[in-house]
Structure 1
Amino acid sequence: MHEGADAAEPRYTRDELVDELGLTAEYAEKIWNAFGFARTSTPDKIFTENELQALRLFAASAEAMPLDAQVATARAIGQTMSRLADWQADQLREFDRDPDVPWTIDQMSAALGQVQQLIWRRHLALALDHHIELESDESQDLVVGFADIVGYTSLSRRIALDELEKLLESFEEQTFEIVTRGGGHVIKTLGDAVMFTTHEPAEAATIAIAIHELSADDEIPPLRVGLARGRVLSRLGDVFGEPVNIAARLAGSARPGTTLVDDSVSAGLADDERFYLRSIPSLSVRGYRRLKARTVEANKYYDGPVVTFGRSSDVTP
């Protein structure tokens, strides 16, 4: 094995890498395509000794992991990295055009790679600590939340693309901050929507109330939120199950500036004086003909610690 700096120098073409790993052409093509490189091929030496050893471990997992699971893992990594790289490339090009930025794209890329590795390792450690507590089937009881921008489709037709970009960035950034500070976890962003999870209904309700505050200064249009609680399956950084479907339906049915919750979340908030629940007629939505729901908001008559938290105040769930 090569050590030191040599291990980080490109030594293998794609075909040479496949030969070194002893992979079949069919297997290599499936994994390569899943990583997102179906249309990207080069005869250049682009793989290092370190990368060879890492991919050797990945390929060896075929003995314990079905091919479908390996492909799904590769696809999840490829899709995540592709989106991240596209965004980073835009940012680096913008910095490169700025005469006040003294670094080259190569220098910034190298630094960004180190920072990315640092942040990834920290998130992985936290995720591993969290998953130790989960059951072996990777299912758990969670509150799933969806928050989205009301009237986004028509809005996107009326405003310029640069304004739309600023709006979405502001919405994602501030919502992400609210969710993480409120003890929740952002699962994914969907342009005009954010999906998150929490362990407790009170956390989710507190987050929802704070999310609506983002529309107070008209910088962000009115928002709507849906919350549902139940068993979900955690897989490849996403969650699946009926609570996900119900939360999405509730968000889609909520009026601007309101939060709709299902029976399970409502039951978890019923004895909490910080929140006020109001019944509404059953909803008829796709997949659910009579979906029971309630609105939740901060109880204005509650004289204890405040429920909501803003962008600079402390979380007080």
Structure 2
Amino acid sequence: FAYSLVRQHFNVLFELVDQHNGAVVKTIGDAIMAAFTVPADAFDAAIAMQKQMQVLNQQLNLVEPNQLILKVGIDAGPCISVTLNERPDYFGMTVNTAARVQGLSKGNDIVVTDSVLVDLKERGNSWEQNEVQLKGLAAPIRVYTLRLYGEKFSAQELIV
């Protein structure tokens, strides 16, 4: 059952990344790293993924604490692109920041940085703002969380 669940999870994520003009770079355990050229496409893919995970949980009759949850972090900016073993991969501060921001997610939400939010402000979503100190960064940065399902978390300063 577990293998089938992981396959369904990946099938949903891969399909939605592709539908939103992105490319899956690699899998990391049960997570994926995807690249997009437009931050809004990454955000739209994340919204679609969160919605589809809710559908998949219902279809599989999964209830808490056994539901599939997504923790999404998005950053935008320059990165280094290389090809390793005939596959593209990305490195640099943007990639590291996205991974660290994803670590702030509580699940069923999307956490983004200033560089992503600038493309999304006109959408009128209600964002929770936090200032965080991320490992590897000299100064704290602002991150914004859009909670999609469940209780709203209160804004708080986080040290990670």
* TM-score calculated relative to the size of structure 1: 0.40
Structure 2 counterparts to residues 174-193 of structure 1, below 5 A: 174-193=12-31
Aligned residue among 185, 202, 211 for 2:49: 211
Does the residue aligned with 1:175 lie in a helix, a strand or coil?
Answer: helix
Q: Structure 2: give runs of 5+ residues left out of the alignment.
A: 61-66, 149-160
Q: What secondary structure sits across from 2:15 in the alignment?
A: helix
**Structure 1 residue aligned with 2:153:** none
Query: Contact (CA 8 Å) 2:71, 2:107: kept in 1 or not?
Result: yes
Could you tell me which residue of structure 2 aligns to residue 292 of structure 1? 142
Structure 2 counterpart of 1:261: 112
Tell which has more relative contact order, 1 or 2 (C-alpha 8 A, sep 6+). Answer: 2
Letter of the aligned partner of 1:221 in structure 2?
L
Partner in structure 2 of residue 279 of structure 1: 128
Unaligned stretches of 5+ residues in structure 1? 1-162, 299-317
Any conservation in 2 of the 1:209–1:297 contact (CA below 8 Å)? no
Separation in 1, partners of 2:89, 2:33: 10
Alignment of 1:155-174 (within 5 A): 163-174=1-12
Structure 1: distance between partners of 2:119 and 2:132: 21
Name the % identity: 29
SS in 2 for 1:174: helix
Could you tell me whether the CA contact under 8 Å between 2:108 and 2:147 is conserved in 1? no
8 Å Cα contact 1:277-1:296 kept in structure 2: yes
1:69-108 paired onto structure 2 within 5 Å: none
The 3 A distance-change label for structure 1 pair 249 and 242 is: same
When the two chains are superposed, the root-mean-square deviation of aligned CA atoms in Å is 1.8
Q: Give the residue type in structure 1 aligned to 2:132.
A: L
Letter of the 2:45 partner, please give it: I
SS in structure 2 at match of 1:292: strand
Which structure has the larger Rg over C-alpha atoms?
A: 1
3-state SS of paired residue (2:108): coil
Alpha-carbon distance in 2 for matches of 1:267, 1:291 = 14
| Number of equivalenced pairs | 134
Which whole-Å deviations, capped at 9, do the CAs of 1:235-274 have from their partners, x for residues lacking one? 0110111111111111111111000001100111123x2x
Q: For 2:53 and 2:16, how far apart are their aligned partners in 1?
A: 13
CA, structure 1 residues 201+296, in 2 after alignment: closer, same or farther (shift >3 Å)? farther
| Structure with the bigger percentage of strand | 2
